[in-house]
Structure 1
């Protein structure tokens, strides 16, 4: 693989999506390339931020419910070895132990999934859940792009904006952290700044905002607008991240 090709593996490396051979080659290259090292660190930090933003504390009763399921699962005792056919007995015992472990693990996972789904459905409408899932899916997709780039900047009034972009996908995702809270009649609105002027990419509502068609974008800018959004920016951007 050429040196130019190695530089394109930062996104896949940050998401643990490389083969063993690619990983070995990239890790041999990484200590000698400050640009790749900084980009990998930034992508890994963004992935961690995304995961933390969706993390939920488990309900208090979940631990007791899982432990109750474990105690109700019958444990298999080792069978006595048979001198006539030890290999057959060992295979049978291992198979039963594996089956018991799989069933116990499946039961625990099922409990966790059901509880998680119930908690999400109680907190959000189905439409909001679908939009949230689609948004994070595109973040993951961009992070896995071989040409993924990470851009960020501190806001003028506090907080920080982060952009994950992929020229090959012609998309960018904007995430914000620590922005000051706004009155109920105001909202943060994201703009794609192009040579012909800014166009709206949507309102910021706590989820990543996906911007399509960013090939000619000069910057992504965040402004404070009326709660329903504006047709054009009406205030000075609180965050502006150049896309060059």
Structure 2
């Protein structure tokens, strides 16, 4: 079936920003799966665009947006709710698609706003995106034909790894993962038949409300595991994994 292109772009932004729960994610993927080929291509292109915007902050510190900007978004959402007729009878037909579209649109806007850099906002909008002359390493990963994503929970926050088995590279995105305690670090390990291999570490200074990092040399890995290590010996495994994201 044919879908509104703007609607599909909003759904793609929600998936890329990890702004939906598992039930909503499954619902979105059913919508995309039943869409026409051209519509699916629109969704996939938007998904790559948002992920590329996220990749652009992989070496920056993400901070919450200014309070004034947040208030403006909330004012718009409030205005959208107030314009809905209060006494309009509820339709007999399934009203979910339209109400879902309204909610998804504003959740997408709010989710985009919270990705800030130094009090500003990441250079991504649904209507206007610039494309770099040369794709970055992360952008090449997102554009790989065999790209896939695994998600999970890390220390109460959310984490996802979007990776390409053929290139052996991936992009880690963490949202709302708390900073490690003083004197400790987060360690990322590639788990495989030959045992754990250190993929990188994150100190408190490296962890922000939204944090991204590129992972390389993933060939043969079956999972990405997270442990809490000693900052004095960052390459030493001293605890059991606190989270593990399987790689299929």
Q: Name the TM-score class by shorter chain.
A: 0.3 to 0.5
Provide the TM-score with structure 2 as the length reference: 0.46
Select the structure that is richer in helix.
Answer: 1
Query: Scaled by the length of structure 1, what TM-score is found?
Result: 0.46
Greater Cα radius of gyration, structure 1 or 2:
1
Q: Which protein has greater RCO, CA pairs closer than 8 Å, 6+ apart?
A: 2
